[in-house]
Amino acid sequence: MKFESKAVMLVLLVAAFMALGTYFTMIVPLMSKELNTATKDATPYTELELKGKRIYESEGCMYCHTQQVRNLLAETKRYGMGEEETFKRFGIRALIQAPPSQPGEYVFDKPHLLGTRRAGPDLARVGGKYDNTWHLNHFRDPRSTSPGSFMPAYTWLFDKNGQPKEEAIALVAYIQKLGTNLKWREEGVEQARKLAAAEAESGNANVAAVNGAEKQ
């Protein structure tokens, strides 16, 4: 029989092919435990953070910022904690690599905001990187904190006197939440300290380069 001259048969076969691919690439992952189990330190969004997430969505932030550290060495280093930053905040000179993003970090995201394009940097590990004032200045006037950036100024999130509206405060709260479903900063620093101590004890400088905590 020629399917191409029987409209009903053609449509049925096309639907069957579609169902096959959809089952394996969509339904199977939907039912997988790995993709639906929260990480150990994952917490749901607070009301304020959730409000901030909605601002992030309606302002279309996800069109220019991804929220996924890909499983590539360059990205775990780029989006990790640089040596200067770690020293300033934790008093130890170490590059703490950001862990690649894990499915369990996203279970409270509805909708997801993984994004596909980086006109600006990835934000999956940005929570805790800057203080709230930095973020507010950045939203009010991006080029004051990041010269050369072409991010728009979100002036409508501030009142006439330049004071942040509730929306801006919520947005910052959401941004600060990003990446905190893994305690990677704390654990990374702890590990770096242990390595430094072990190093001091043994006098061997080579111990350091292990497991995401890389002394430079």
Partner 1 sequence: MAEPAVKIQHEDRSARFFMYTAIAFFLITITIGLIMAIKFIFPEFLGGIGALSFGRIRAIHTNGVLFGWLLAANMGLAYYVVPRLCGAKLFSEKLGMVTLALWIVILLAAVVTLAAGDTQAREYLELNGWLDILVTIAWVMFAVNIFGTIAQRTYNQMYVSLWYLMGTILWTAILWIVGNLPVYSGVNDANVNWWFGHNAVGLIFTPFGVAMAYYFIPKSTGNPLYSHKLSIIGFWTIALLYIWTGAHHIIFGPIPTWLQTVAILFSVSLLIPVWTVIANFFGTLRGKWAQGDYIVKFLLSGTVFYLLTCFQGPMHSLRSVNQIVSKTDWIPGHAHMAVFGAFSFFAMAGIYYALPRILKRPIYSDKLGEWHFWFSFVGFLGFSVSLWIGGFLQGLQWMDHTISFLDTVKTMYPYYVVRMIAALLMVSGQIIFAFNIYKTVRSENAQLAMA
13 is written with which tokens? Answer: 């076969």
Residue 206 amino acid letter: N
- When the beta carbons of 72 and 198 are compared against partner 1, the nearer one is 72
Q: What is the smallest separation between the CB atom of 68 and partner 1, expressed in angstroms?
A: 5
Distance CA 126, CA 176 (A): 7
Distance CA 80, CA 100 (A): 10
- When the beta carbons of 121 and 199 are compared against partner 1, the nearer one is 121
Name residue, tokens 């430094």. 196
Residue 81 dihedral angles phi and psi, to the nearest 5°: -100, 120
- When the beta carbons of 206 and 216 are compared against partner 1, the nearer one is 216
Q: What is the smallest separation between the CB atom of 30 and partner 1, expressed in angstroms?
A: 5
- When the beta carbons of 17 and 202 are compared against partner 1, the nearer one is 17
What's the distance, Cα to Cα, between the start and end of the chain in Å? 70
60 is written with which tokens? Answer: 């279309």
Q: What is the smallest separation between the CB atom of 60 and partner 1, expressed in angstroms?
A: 2
Q: What is the smallest separation between the CB atom of 197 and partner 1, expressed in angstroms?
A: 27
Q: What is the smallest separation between the CB atom of 190 and partner 1, expressed in angstroms?
A: 22
- When the beta carbons of 103 and 127 are compared against partner 1, the nearer one is 103
- When the beta carbons of 114 and 197 are compared against partner 1, the nearer one is 114
- Spatial contact of 143 and 154, defined as CB atoms under 8 Å apart: no
Q: What is the smallest separation between the CB atom of 202 and partner 1, expressed in angstroms?
A: 29
Residue 176 dihedral angles phi and psi, to the nearest 5°: -70, -20
Dihedral angle sign, alpha carbons of residues 175, 179, 181, 182: negative
SS3 call for 213: strand
- Spatial contact of 127 and 176, defined as CB atoms under 8 Å apart: yes
